[in-house]
Structures are given as C-alpha cells and as structure tokens.
Structure 1
Amino acid sequence: MPHSSGGSGPQDIPVLVLNGPNLNLLGLREPDIYGKETLAGIEEMCRETAAAHGLRADCRQSNHEGALIDAVHEARTGHRAIVINPGGYSHTSVALRDALAAVELPVVEVHLSNIHKREAFRHHSYVSAVADTVICGAGAHGYALALAHAATLVREKR
C-alpha cells in the first residue's frame, strides 16, 4: 500500500489519512464529480493542514479492502485518529465498518462529492454509523476540514 508521511517532532500527533478504491485516479476519473485535484495534491494539502494543527498525516491509498482493514488495525496502536474516504467501500463494506469500530479511535469520514445528491445506492454508508463526523460535498477542501476536526477530536479525547 502506498505510504507517505510528513513532519517530525514531539508535537506531531499521527493521524491516518486513508483513501479507498479508485481514489488513485483522482484528477483523471470523472473530474466533473470528483474535481481536478490529484491524490498526490490532496495528500500534500493534508500534510500541510495536519502540520498546522499539530498533527502528522500518514497518507495511504489502496484499491483492496483487506489492505484498508489492515491499515485501520495498524492505526490502533500507531495513530490517534483516522480520516477516511472509503470510496465505493462506503456502501458495501461491513468489514471495513467493523474494523473502524474495533480500533476505538476518532474517525472522520470524508467524501469529495455529496453522496446524498447522487445515485440512491450511494446514499447509505456503513462507515457513517461508526464515524464521529461525516464531511461530504466539499471537494478536496473536505480533507482540510476533516483534519481540522480530527485535531479537535484528538484534543477532546486526551
């Protein structure tokens, strides 16, 4: 699974930023729905936003459900919160939902598009039931909102 992180220092609080299937195609795939920003650009913005809030963004993406679940399990001991765009697994993966519930970390679900204004099958997200917060329809800026809120959730949990 692609893995990158930025920042280093005693005040950096690690937060997993996890992206699901097809998000590696951002900027190419249906830009009228998902925008023109690439995943690399979003990850860079996440690292910058995280640093501004005393966090360190550990950005990962996979098209494989099991790899996403493994990353969530790993976050249990290595991270203080999870920001996740589960992509299509939002609407299909009970296993990913169960993994997020099991790790007992603050979870912020983010979607580039407003899933409630799209096809009916996208209106339900299994992940939303275990997320502390859901941000959808704000485009790439939704990740910045998610990280700012994750910082608040981490501080409240202390």
Structure 2
Amino acid sequence: MDFTLNGQDSSVTDGERLSLLDLLRDRIGLNGPKYGCGLGQCGACTVLVDGAPARACVMRAARVKGRSVTTLEGLADPVTGDLHPVQQGFIDGQGAQCGYCLNGMIMTAVALLDRNPDPSDDQIRQALRDNLCRCGTHQDIVASVRQAAALMVAR
C-alpha cells in the first residue's frame, strides 16, 4: 500500500488490515499518535488525513492508500527543524500537563487554523470539543491555540 506520510512517499506491505494507529505506532515506529480509548472518542490518536483530523484508532490503514497522512512528527520543518507554530504555541502557552491529549489537541488545532487562521475562543472550543483532557487544562489549551494563531500570522 502506497501513501504519503509526513511529506514522504511511503509503502507498506501486509499492513492494510491493521488500524492506522497500529500501522503508525507498531509497524512504522511513530509515537506521536497515542492509544487512548480505542473507540475514536478521546482524540489522543488524531492524525491528519489529507489535512482533516482523523481518529487513527478506528480507521483501517487501507483507507489511506494514495492519501496524505500527517502525524505530530511531521509538523516540524524538515529542513530547519523549527517547530510548527501550533507546537510552539502549546509550549509557549503551557497547554498541557501530562501531555497525553497533546497529540490530538495539536493535530486538531492545526486543521482548525489551516481553515480559520483567526478563530474565536468559542470556535476553538468547538473544534476541540471531542478531544478529551483529563488534567483539566482547557483554558491553557485555548490560550495555546490563540498563541499559535498569532505565531502563524507573524511568519
């Protein structure tokens, strides 16, 4: 199966029957997407498929054939190593405590800011509503997304 992973052509054999999460973590060795609930309800496994957030734990790997998948590892600039503005915004805004939800929050925020570079707090909350944070850092997460939006405008 051929697909694009983090901007690079990728080919895997015998992985089409796996979940996308199992393919990414177990076969390819990427640890950005996390196993949380296994039911597509918590958001820890979120990746971008053709730029849209997708729950990798409930998506069969075969569904990404010929498509583009971006994980947390693929957000940083491959040449300079500079973090994506959303990654930097979460660092600057201290948007996580334990960090388990961080992958899903960041990936969902990237998709949000790509389609709406200046969202309101309500729009940020709406976009992130299906990503669960057990630590309760919701206000810091919203502030981090606002910080990321400002960084994206500045670059």
Task: Specify if TM > 0.5.
Answer: no
TM-score range, shorter chain: under 0.3
Decide which structure has greater helix share.
Answer: 1
Question: Structure 1-normalised TM-score?
Answer: 0.25
